[in-house]
Amino acid sequence: MSQSESIQVQVVYARPEGVFLKDCVLAAGATIDDALAASGLTKRHPEIDWQVHQVGVYGKVTKRSHALVDGDRVEVYRPLEETARASRAELAKE
């Protein structure tokens, strides 16, 4: 794969216990699903429930079939709980 046929992305999953962060080189046209597989995130964190965990790129929620571009940061979002974090998210909407 030549440099023009590849992209570099970062996969991030933050948890209270620490942050999973992995740089990945993928084929051009790769999706979020491709990045998640290449990063090893799904093997390292099998507790992720794709029915409740959302994904996005740079803070914008999107589908796992979204095509990535060079430099994208793929983020896996934990579900909001009734905590101060959820309250802050609600206040931000106002």
Prediction pTM value: 0.80
Token reading at 89: 């998210």
13: which residues sit within 8 A by CB, 6+ positions away? 19, 20, 41, 45, 48, 75, 76
Scan for tokens 């979204």, then name that residue: 66
Q: What average pLDDT does the chain have?
A: 88
Distance CA 19, CA 3 (A): 28
For the chain, the structural domain boundaries read 3-93
Scan for tokens 């046209």, then name that residue: 29
Question: Residue 8 in 3-state DSSP?
Answer: strand
Distance CA 13, CA 20 (A): 5
Given the candidates 3.40.50.300, 3.30.830.10, 3.40.50.450, 3.10.20.90, the CATH classification of the domain at 3-93 is: 3.10.20.90
Q: What is the pLDDT of residues 57-86, one digit of tens each?
A: 999 999 999 999 999 999 999 887 655 566
